[in-house]
C-alpha cells in the first residue's frame, strides 16, 4: 500500500513540473501574430472572436509539445494585447504579445511565441 502511494505521489510530482501539465487530448489555439497591432484592444474576452487563425490540435504528441512550452512566470500579462489563447481539456491560457500570460486558474505563465508558432506549423 505504501509503495502504491509513493508511486502515485511521484507521478503527481513529475506531472506537475510544467505549468501546463500533460494529458490533454485536444488543444485549441486562437492566434494573432504577436507583431500585429490592432485598432481595437484584443482581450481575454474577445480573442476567440477576432483571432486570425484557430488551430485544433488532435495529435497527442503535438498537443503535449504545446503544453510543454508553457512555463511558470512572475510577470504580469498585458490584458489589452492578447495574441494567443490555448484551450485544453480542463483549462485555458491567455498570452500577450510578449508571451507573458495567465491561466484560467490565475497562475502567471509565459510561452515562447516563436516556438509556439513552429509547433503549430508541424
Share of residues in the chain with pLDDT > 90 (%): 75
Please report the pLDDT score of residue 26 as a whole number: 87
Give the model's pLDDT for residue 7: 41
- Whether residue 52 is predicted with pLDDT greater than 80 in this model: the reply is yes
Question: CA-CA distance, 36 to 13, in Å (whole number)?
Answer: 38
Cross-sheet strand order for the sheet of 53-57: 53-57, 27-31, 82-87, 92-96, 100-103, 108-110, 71-72
Query: Is 17 within the bounds of a domain?
Result: no
Residue 85 in any domain: the answer is yes
Name the domain count of the chain.
Answer: 1
pLDDT for 9 beyond 60: no
Report whether pLDDT(14) > 70. Answer: no
Instruction: Look at residue 48 and tell me if it is in a domain.
Output: yes
Asked whether residue 12 is assigned to any structural domain, the reply reads: no
Residue 107: inside a domain: yes
For range 95-121, the mean pLDDT: 96
Cβ atoms of residues 83 and 117 within 8 Å: no
Domain of residue 103 covers 24-120
Q: State residue 24's pLDDT score.
A: 52
11-18: which pairs have CB atoms within 8 A and are 24 or more residues apart?
18/67, 18/68, 18/70, 18/71
Amino acid at each position: 500500500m505504501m509503495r502504491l502511494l509513493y508511486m502515485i505521489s511521484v507521478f503527481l510530482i513529475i506531472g506537475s513540473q510544467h505549468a501546463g501539465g500533460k494529458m490533454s487530448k485536444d488543444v485549441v489555439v486562437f492566434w494573432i501574430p504577436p507583431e500585429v497591432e490592432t485598432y481595437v484592444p484584443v482581450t481575454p474576452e474577445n480573442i476567440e472572436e477576432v483571432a486570425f487563425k484557430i488551430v485544433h490540435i488532435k495529435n497527442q504528441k503535438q498537443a503535449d509539445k504545446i503544453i510543454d512550452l508553457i512555463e511558470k512566470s512572475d510577470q504580469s500579462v498585458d490584458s489589452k494585447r492578447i495574441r494567443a489563447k490555448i484551450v485544453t481539456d480542463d483549462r485555458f491560457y491567455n498570452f500577450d504579445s510578449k508571451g507573458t500570460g495567465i491561466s484560467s486558474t490565475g497562475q502567471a505563465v509565459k510561452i515562447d511565441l516563436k516556438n509556439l508558432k513552429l509547433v503549430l506549423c508541424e
